[in-house]
Homo-oligomer: A and B are copies of this chain.
């Protein structure tokens, strides 16, 4: 009936974290210390720590130690996706920044072509942006813009966010269809976002429609699930 040792240990550490014995950012005892504290083998200690990591409560850094994850999440409002993300962040006291990784014409892959209602292989502009929150990588946005807008706005888009740029250039966005889901970091995305393999991520996949239901922009914002959440307000 008694739970496995590693569960007991990770649950005790979890309670201590919840109680504030270990503050966000604090270093947990090293594996060797935990082995002595609980009188178990290193395998059991590592399993207990893996539990905490998989629950998003801690992150391990090789050579440094295991640290309690900073808990505060940033809320991104979905009710009006046109608002400036910078302002959204600033209001919550986050130092926000982004850097342009890619902006280039490419042939539209199958799902992109379907979303933008164009022929597969037709030219679109691929945009990749990395968002930083208080210096640390927090999210990546990969989006595709229809070709004529990409050509026209290329210079501006490397320095500004996409939605405001569209709005300022008389391209009205009438509707945004979106799906929110949860995934996990693969090896490549882990590199971008500076998180380990399997780290939980949220995906906000959107299609922006201009007048006449004309799709102009399709993309995904992939964010660290431990740093981001989405808020929305629905009215009847």
Contacts and interface: CB of A to CB of B under 8 A. Distances in A.
Contacts of A202: 181-182
A7 interface: yes
Interface string A194-236: 0001101010000000000000000000000110111111111
A205 to B, nearest CB: 9
Q: Which of A54, A56, A228, A233 has the most CB of B within 10 A?
A: A54
Interface residues of A, number: 47
A8 B200 CA distance: 20
Contacts of A230: 179-181
A176 interface: yes
Q: Which of A184, A185, A226, A232 has the most CB of B within 10 A?
A: A232
Contacts of A181: 73, 202, 225, 228-230
Given A56-B182, A175-B236, 4 more contacts: A50-B50, A55-B198, A177-B232, A182-B182
